[in-house]
Amino acid sequence: MDDVLVTGLGALSPLGAGTDAFWRGMHKADTGPTRVPDPLAHMDRPLMYLVPEADVPDGPEEQDGLPLGRGSRFALAAAREAVADAGLAPSAGPGERPEAGPYATGGGLDPRRVAVALSTGMGDTDLHEGWWTGRAPASGRWAPAFPLASVVGGWFGAQGVNTCVSNACAASGYALSVGADLIRSGEADVVIAGGAEAYSRVALACFNRLGAIDPERCRPFAVERQGTVFGEGAAVLVLESASHARARGARTVYGRLAGAGWSCDAYHATAPEPSGEQIERAMREALREAGAEAGSGTGSESGSGSGSESGSGTEAGSGAGSGSGGLGFVIPHGTGTELNDVVESRLLDALTPRTPLYSVKALIGHTGGAAGAFAALAACLVLHHKTLPPNVPVGEQDPECAVPLPSGSAPMTGAYGLVNAYAFGGNNISLVFGEAAA
């Protein structure tokens, strides 16, 4: 079966615009939430990790007559970067000259073989919230709340499958997995895949009502965690069949999507099933499919361990993922909510003992429908640079969350990274990314 490679990356995040800014931010490990600039956000904890104002795309306001919200604009920005990074270029529209790009101008990219699989939890709901509070819609045209994949497909001229997955906080993990399935089933050669999420007053208010917002910051696995803190942004990966990438001479391969495992708790609307049976099944399936056996090949002594101060955790060079060929790191779902972190920690301790974790959410908050894509983006960067960045300090670690959270950067020699994404409704997905060369 053809490998599914990652040949392009794009990001717009609270760390700024671009994948380089994201990677730098991962090493700087110094972020925090701010108050949302919305005078109508009548809630106790109106906090989020926001995309810096200077990096918020100032358009487009509409595309082909469809008014665009913040989510669509975020998705477009990240997709533009990922596509350019992959050395691809949008298809020429009728009467248009192809954009500069060796592949588009050289021919060979069949737009019918390019798919888009993006995810979002709230889509362009911010646009509708504006209409509900006095801003008039520009037209009476129906404006579906989840047009993100359509907008990216329209911009690129992709004619293959174009799907928006909305499995809440696991959605972009599923979008990536669906994208990989499209390649493996022969339905696409290239898939623009990932997720985007933007501030929505309704979403933040509901999480406030559920008592699930931490008053300080997103503190996964910390003893004093009190919930999560949302983040916003978009992360997009270009997935490509290995044969297609080879044929066109793709310049960079960040990694390969080597395995995926799906499951559903079928237990509760918002709470994880306490035994973690189904999240374990998803992890095992992803690791099995990738051939990265759980608990093997890491041999790292990098764990900060139960109850340790995050600031005194493992320092650089302690050999994260030192067992070459095995699982080198885990990017957990870890939201900072009470039960999720305990259940996931317990299973990781059993399934991938001593494998170091890197928490993306401690860095940029919980980006909801984009969270899995940001975790995947981070995993690809770690594999590509062979370095595991330091975790953002979150205070004393919960003894019930005995997972290694290195506070210093470390060389990454393991061949695989595991990504977890879970969601309301008990939706679980695990992905395994592996090293790959161009």
Partner 1 sequence: MSSDPAVGLVVTGIGTVGADGFDFRTALGRHGYKYLPAASQYFLAAAKRALAQAGPDALEAVGPEQRGAAVGTNSAAVALHHAMDRTVTATGAADLSPVTAPYFSINLFGSRLATEHDLKGFNLTFTSPRVAGLEALQNGQRALATGRARRLLAGATEEALPEGEPGAGTSEAGAVALVLEPEPAARSRGVAALGRVGVRSFFLPPKAAASAEGAERAAALLRDALDALGHRPDRPLAVTAVLDGSPVGEAMAAALDEKALGGRALAGEPERVPAGAGALEPVARVAAALGAPAGHAHAVVTAAAEGNAAVCLVTPGGADAVPGGPEAASSEPAGTKRAPESAGSEQPMSGRRRASDR
For 327: left if phi > 0, alpha if psi spans -120 to 50, otherwise beta; the answer is beta
Least distance in angstroms from the C-beta of 77 to partner 1:
19
8-state DSSP, 211: T
Nearer to partner 1, 289 or 349 (CB): 289
Q: Does 438 bind partner 1 (CB under 8 A)?
A: no
Residue selected from 202, 247, 350, 438 as contacting partner 1 according to rule CB under 8 A: 202
Nearer to partner 1, 160 or 414 (CB): 160
Nearer to partner 1, 149 or 234 (CB): 149
> CA 334 to CA 286: how far, in whole Å?
18
Residue 76: its H or E element? helix 70-85
DSSP string across 86-101 = TT--PPP-TTPPPPS-
* Interface positions, 128-157, toward partner 1 (CB under 8 A): 128-129, 131-133, 137, 139-147, 149-151, 153-154, 157
Least distance in angstroms from the C-beta of 222 to partner 1:
24
Q: Does 430 bind partner 1 (CB under 8 A)?
A: no
> CA 9 to CA 86: how far, in whole Å?
7
Least distance in angstroms from the C-beta of 168 to partner 1:
5
Residues 333-372, mask of contacts with partner 1 (x by CB under 8 A): ----------------------------------------
Residue selected from 228, 263, 318, 335 as contacting partner 1 according to rule CB under 8 A: 263
Nearer to partner 1, 154 or 356 (CB): 154
Quick check: bond before 399 cis, omega within 30?
A: no
b or e along 174-199 (b: 16 or more beta carbons within 10 Å of the residue's beta carbon)?
Answer: bbbbbbbebbeeeebbbbbbbbbbbb
* Interface positions, 265-284, toward partner 1 (CB under 8 A): 265-270, 278, 281
* Interface positions, 25-44, toward partner 1 (CB under 8 A): 40-44
Q: Do residues 67 and 61 lie in contact, with contact meaning Cβ atoms separated by under 8 Å?
A: yes
Q: Does 214 bind partner 1 (CB under 8 A)?
A: no
Q: Does 105 bind partner 1 (CB under 8 A)?
A: no
* Interface positions, 42-101, toward partner 1 (CB under 8 A): 42-44, 64-66, 91, 93-95
> CA 398 to CA 224: how far, in whole Å?
8
* Interface positions, 292-311, toward partner 1 (CB under 8 A): none
Residue selected from 13, 19, 166, 302 as contacting partner 1 according to rule CB under 8 A: 166
Least distance in angstroms from the C-beta of 149 to partner 1:
6
Residue selected from 30, 206, 386, 399 as contacting partner 1 according to rule CB under 8 A: 206
Least distance in angstroms from the C-beta of 292 to partner 1:
16
Site size for partner 1 (CB under 8 A):
86
Sorted by sequence, the CB contacts under 8 Å of residue 425 that are 6+ apart come out as 167, 168, 264, 269
Token pair for 349: 């301790």
Cβ atoms within 10 A of the Cβ of 144, count?
A: 10
Largest CA distance in the chain: 64
Nearer to partner 1, 67 or 332 (CB): 67
Residue selected from 55, 99, 181, 349 as contacting partner 1 according to rule CB under 8 A: 181
Name the one residue in this structure whose structure tokens are 């306490």. 274
Up-side HSE of residue 379: CA atoms within 13 Å toward CB?
37
Q: Does 437 bind partner 1 (CB under 8 A)?
A: no
3-state secondary structure of 52: coil
Quick check: bond before 220 cis, omega within 30?
A: no
Judged by CB under 8 A, the stretch of 206-214, 225-233, 330-338, 342-350 that binds partner 1 is 206-214
Question: What is the distance in angstroms between the CA of the first residue and the CA of the last residue of the chain?
Answer: 18
Least distance in angstroms from the C-beta of 153 to partner 1:
5
